[in-house]
Amino acid sequence: MAEVAAPSRPAMKIVAREAAVILFSRGICMSPDEISTFCNICGRRVDRGRGHYIVRIEAFAAVDPPEKLIYLDKSGDFREDINKLLVEISETDPREIEDSVYKFFKFDLCRSCHKEYLKNPLGRR
Protein backbone atom coordinates (compact mmCIF):
# COMPACT_ATOMS: atom_id res chain seq x y z
CA MET A 1 0.00 0.00 0.00
CA ALA A 2 1.31 3.45 -0.91
CA GLU A 3 2.25 5.87 1.85
CA VAL A 4 -0.11 8.75 2.31
CA ALA A 5 1.07 12.14 3.51
CA ALA A 6 -0.72 13.30 6.64
CA PRO A 7 -3.74 15.31 5.50
CA SER A 8 -5.34 18.08 7.53
CA ARG A 9 -5.90 17.02 11.11
CA PRO A 10 -9.64 16.21 11.01
CA ALA A 11 -9.14 13.89 8.04
CA MET A 12 -6.48 11.73 9.73
CA LYS A 13 -9.07 9.53 11.40
CA ILE A 14 -10.82 8.96 8.08
CA VAL A 15 -7.54 7.80 6.52
CA ALA A 16 -7.16 5.25 9.33
CA ARG A 17 -10.67 3.97 8.71
CA GLU A 18 -10.12 3.74 4.95
CA ALA A 19 -6.89 1.81 5.52
CA ALA A 20 -8.75 -0.64 7.77
CA VAL A 21 -11.38 -1.16 5.09
CA ILE A 22 -8.71 -1.77 2.45
CA LEU A 23 -6.90 -4.24 4.69
CA PHE A 24 -10.17 -6.00 5.52
CA SER A 25 -11.05 -6.32 1.83
CA ARG A 26 -7.70 -8.05 1.25
CA GLY A 27 -8.43 -10.65 3.93
CA ILE A 28 -6.46 -8.97 6.72
CA CYS A 29 -8.48 -8.29 9.83
CA MET A 30 -7.54 -5.54 12.30
CA SER A 31 -9.03 -5.08 15.73
CA PRO A 32 -10.35 -1.59 16.60
CA ASP A 33 -7.44 -1.23 19.06
CA GLU A 34 -4.98 -1.43 16.17
CA ILE A 35 -6.52 1.51 14.33
CA SER A 36 -4.99 4.82 15.37
CA THR A 37 -7.12 7.70 16.55
CA PHE A 38 -5.93 11.27 16.33
CA CYS A 39 -6.94 14.33 18.33
CA ASN A 40 -9.17 16.49 16.14
CA ILE A 41 -7.66 19.67 17.58
CA CYS A 42 -3.88 19.17 17.80
CA GLY A 43 -3.51 16.09 15.57
CA ARG A 44 -1.59 14.03 18.15
CA ARG A 45 -2.13 10.29 18.14
CA VAL A 46 -4.19 9.19 21.14
CA ASP A 47 -3.99 5.63 22.37
CA ARG A 48 -7.13 4.00 23.66
CA GLY A 49 -7.22 3.76 27.43
CA ARG A 50 -4.79 6.65 27.91
CA GLY A 51 -6.85 9.78 28.39
CA HIS A 52 -8.84 9.70 25.16
CA TYR A 53 -12.00 11.84 25.19
CA ILE A 54 -14.96 11.99 22.84
CA VAL A 55 -16.98 15.17 22.42
CA ARG A 56 -20.39 14.84 20.79
CA ILE A 57 -22.38 17.86 19.69
CA GLU A 58 -25.96 17.76 18.49
CA ALA A 59 -27.63 20.81 16.98
CA PHE A 60 -31.29 20.51 16.15
CA ALA A 61 -34.26 22.74 15.50
CA ALA A 62 -36.16 23.65 18.64
CA VAL A 63 -39.85 22.99 18.40
CA ASP A 64 -41.82 25.57 20.31
CA PRO A 65 -45.41 24.76 21.17
CA PRO A 66 -47.88 26.88 19.24
CA GLU A 67 -49.18 29.87 21.17
CA LYS A 68 -52.69 28.96 20.19
CA LEU A 69 -54.24 26.16 18.26
CA ILE A 70 -55.35 26.94 14.76
CA TYR A 71 -58.30 25.02 13.43
CA LEU A 72 -58.29 24.71 9.68
CA ASP A 73 -61.39 24.74 7.60
CA LYS A 74 -61.55 21.25 6.12
CA SER A 75 -63.43 22.53 3.11
CA GLY A 76 -60.58 24.89 2.14
CA ASP A 77 -58.32 24.20 -0.85
CA PHE A 78 -54.71 24.04 0.34
CA ARG A 79 -53.21 22.85 -2.96
CA GLU A 80 -51.82 26.28 -3.82
CA ASP A 81 -50.08 26.58 -0.43
CA ILE A 82 -48.68 23.05 -0.71
CA ASN A 83 -47.43 23.70 -4.27
CA LYS A 84 -45.65 26.90 -3.13
CA LEU A 85 -43.99 24.95 -0.34
CA LEU A 86 -42.91 22.17 -2.71
CA VAL A 87 -41.39 24.71 -5.15
CA GLU A 88 -39.51 26.38 -2.29
CA ILE A 89 -38.16 23.04 -1.09
CA SER A 90 -37.14 21.95 -4.61
CA GLU A 91 -35.10 25.15 -5.03
CA THR A 92 -33.21 24.66 -1.78
CA ASP A 93 -30.05 22.58 -1.42
CA PRO A 94 -30.99 19.31 0.37
CA ARG A 95 -27.95 19.63 2.67
CA GLU A 96 -29.10 23.10 3.73
CA ILE A 97 -32.52 21.73 4.63
CA GLU A 98 -30.98 18.81 6.49
CA ASP A 99 -28.52 21.03 8.39
CA SER A 100 -31.28 23.40 9.43
CA VAL A 101 -33.11 20.52 11.13
CA TYR A 102 -30.34 18.33 12.61
CA LYS A 103 -26.54 18.19 12.68
CA PHE A 104 -24.28 15.84 14.65
CA PHE A 105 -20.54 16.19 15.31
CA LYS A 106 -18.15 13.77 17.01
CA PHE A 107 -14.61 14.73 17.94
CA ASP A 108 -11.78 12.73 19.49
CA LEU A 109 -9.61 14.77 21.86
CA CYS A 110 -6.39 14.11 23.69
CA ARG A 111 -6.20 14.85 27.41
CA SER A 112 -4.71 18.36 27.12
CA CYS A 113 -7.06 19.50 24.32
CA HIS A 114 -10.04 18.16 26.26
CA LYS A 115 -8.96 20.19 29.29
CA GLU A 116 -8.73 23.36 27.16
CA TYR A 117 -12.02 22.60 25.41
CA LEU A 118 -13.86 22.41 28.74
CA LYS A 119 -12.64 25.90 29.65
CA ASN A 120 -14.43 27.41 26.66
CA PRO A 121 -16.67 24.90 24.84
CA LEU A 122 -18.40 27.54 22.70
CA GLY A 123 -15.13 29.13 21.59
CA ARG A 124 -16.06 32.59 22.86
CA ARG A 125 -13.37 35.25 22.76
How far does CA 65 lie from the centroid of its chain? 27
What global pTM score does this model have? 0.54
End-to-end CA distance of the chain: 44
DSSP H helices, the chain, are 12-25, 79-90, 94-101, 111-119
Indicate the domain borders of the chain.
36-119
Q: What is the pLDDT of residue 72?
A: 60
What's the whole-number average pLDDT of the chain? 74
pLDDT per position as a tens digit, 95-124: 888 888 889 999 999 999 999 999 999 988
pLDDT band of residue 82 (cuts 50, 70, 90) is confident
